[in-house]
Structure 1
Amino acid sequence: MEVIAGNIASPKGFYADGIHCGLKKTKVDLGWIVSEVPANAAAVFTTNQVQAAPIKVTKEKMDSGQLRGVIVNAGNANACTGEQGYRNAQQMVRAAANKLAVPSDQIAVASTGIIGRQLPMEKVAKGIAKLQKAGDPQAFQKAILTTDLTEKSIVIQSQIGGKTVTMAGCAKGSGMIHPNMATMLAFVTTDAAIPADLLQKLLKELTEVTFNQITVDGDTSTNDMVFVLANGLAGQRALQEETSDYETFKKMFQHVLTALAKAIAQDGEGATKLIEARTTGAVTNEAARMISKTIVGSPLVKTALFGKDPNWGRVLCAVGYSGQTIDPDALSISLAGINVFQSGMPITFDEAKMQEQLAKPEIEILVTLEEGTGQGVAWGCDLTYDYVKINALYHT
């Protein structure tokens, strides 16, 4: 497996484009990803009971298992917009399908941005008419951003069945991030051949250990979506479970989703640090994941690390209220590579060295239990003054 330069349209048979249509003041805000041929599709969606119109429309498209592409806008979530919002999402689909000369049931839709405002459909329709097949894939990766400071993308290749298979991913997400399939959108394209039902099963499995293990602020968005297209143009035989080719593809897929998930956590609104919490020795892997996610979701842990405060008691507290089985007297904690708590007892550490470690942009917290063999990891970010400022002034 090799990480290569590229973009969301790097796999064979894909193209993408992005333009400015007026939903934002100046930035690119509308784009699409399209496959030259029908592609097997899979998706997971937010578990928030309040779901945006594009989520409802795209869910309806997934029954066939095959789609040609997705139309996406930023700057307006088209959420909590009633029947009119639903019709607007459908209109976006029809406009994109007409431009591409494909059936409308072959196009999905996604939106991100401010909740509770109707889309200005005249601007959106004019924008869709300007999108090109031979457009700018890099512009698509910009078109999905809201408060993000960076693009989040990755392209990898590997040999599967004697063919070179390419997989690309891009995502947006910076605030309202606490996915439980945040505002989070992710798109993956691949030229691998894999049945739609197997792709859906694998996406659901890997989402649990990647996107569902990140948190920025504990809020699960109305618009979360992870959307995957696999068009088979690499030319290898369709993947089957319990084969070496399937395991290679699974490793590729997990690598892409993990990279995107970590990039979202690192680009949390106002964030200065990526926090990785790793738990070992839990009763089960799921228990370890939940402990790790509780740690990175703790406001007290997040603020302590922003202030470079080695307050490991906050980590211990989070472990204790995680709802998982623990023995505090057999628990150890390492903070930024320095042991601070061992088998239920505090350890004296070099405070100057700790300050140096906590000033780094990536901080690891390691929790070791003696309950079993379960292990899991989660990612988050620190909580800063700027997070409050960004969200206090979001509409203005």
Structure 2
Amino acid sequence: MKIDFVWPDNIHWTGGKGFALTLERMGLLNKCFQLNQFNYEQLFDYLKNSTSDLIILMCADHHMIYLHNTSQKREFWYKLKIPTVCIAWELILNSRFPDSIHKSSSAIRCFDYFLYVDEKDSIFYKKKGNNACFMPLWVDGENFKVKLAPPERKNKLFFFGQITDFGIPNVYSERKILLDKLLEKNLVEFTDKQIGSLDSFEELVLKLNNYTATINLPSVSDVGWGYSTRVYEAMACGTLLFQYNLKGRPIAAKIFKDYQHYIPYDIDNFEKLAEQINYYLKHIKDLETITITAQEEVITKHTIEHRIQQIIEFVTTGNKVEYQLIPELKNREHIQEDYAIPKISLDFSYQLPEEISSILGDSELTNPQLKSEIQSLKTKLKQAEDLIDAMKTSKFWKLRTAWFKVKKLLGIPSED
């Protein structure tokens, strides 16, 4: 299988260069493009003759609006014969940025599949049916690693991240309030910038390995949209994480477990948060027990490699990423087992139309009603055969076949 990967030049390592290098390491990368508003036309020129099996576009809805901001560009994507997957990294319905819905509404008319990081955005993608699903974020497990054991680190909580409001009311408001309280009590060291730049992971890995604990403070949406990349990166580096309680996200809440993978806190209960910070910094053995469990969980289930395999599985079979991660979700009553590609077996046996007469005998065929039913069965059989032939020649079927070959090479068991 050959995959083209496209990402904007303003996204950090985990969603950009790190993702591209992982595709290359897995033997799946065909061509990659790091785009901005000045160089994006090279992608359109290339796609006119691309021979890839799949195109993954990171943040194409929000950060690469220049790919679909005219009717001509949207028409290009609509007519493209290669399946396209848009990873909607930014929030939509619960975002505090005013143009999020506008940007995503433009993108939804262009790409074949969507993977969104906030499960509440399933409402927005309802019209895409089973071609859209929730997918949590991930970590570059190849580079985010434990380099120092907790006893060798600075025994302090630290936080890094943006607090600028970008001129938009209430952006990072909860974050700033809680951060001020932590600083006032001398409970945290603060780095006012986005560590881990676009082309390197090293600074952030060293920072995470320099401290025993870090805290994930509320982000740019209503509190509790899900786990940010900070969560996965901290766990992978063996740094104890203090994570705010998620609200109204039952699927995301199942990914990790309180007090096994992180220490939960309520943003409205600062006293308890301060108490827990002091406790775990004084009890390094308890801290280390949690970090070991968390590191194992994230490395075995939530790396870039895992997400790439899950994306391909979703596109080729319709098995949603959330089902792959949490199989019991399939049993929810309000979810239909209805995949993007019809689940038709090619080795089922059936009686050929010519054989129906010999099975029934001439006497039964004198019944007009029976004749009508037989003709109906013949028609349905012909429709099924036509559907199978069409599927075999479609871009989705070819992609599905290619993925099964890749799974065999990678040693991934098939469920078929």
Pairwise TM-score range, normalised by the shorter structure: under 0.3
TM-score with structure 1 setting the length:
0.23
The structure with the greater share of residues assigned to helix is 2
TM-score with structure 2 setting the length:
0.22
The structure with the greater share of residues assigned to strand is 1
1 or 2 for the larger relative contact order (CA 8 Å, sep ≥6)?
1
The structure having more radius of gyration, on CA atoms, is: 2
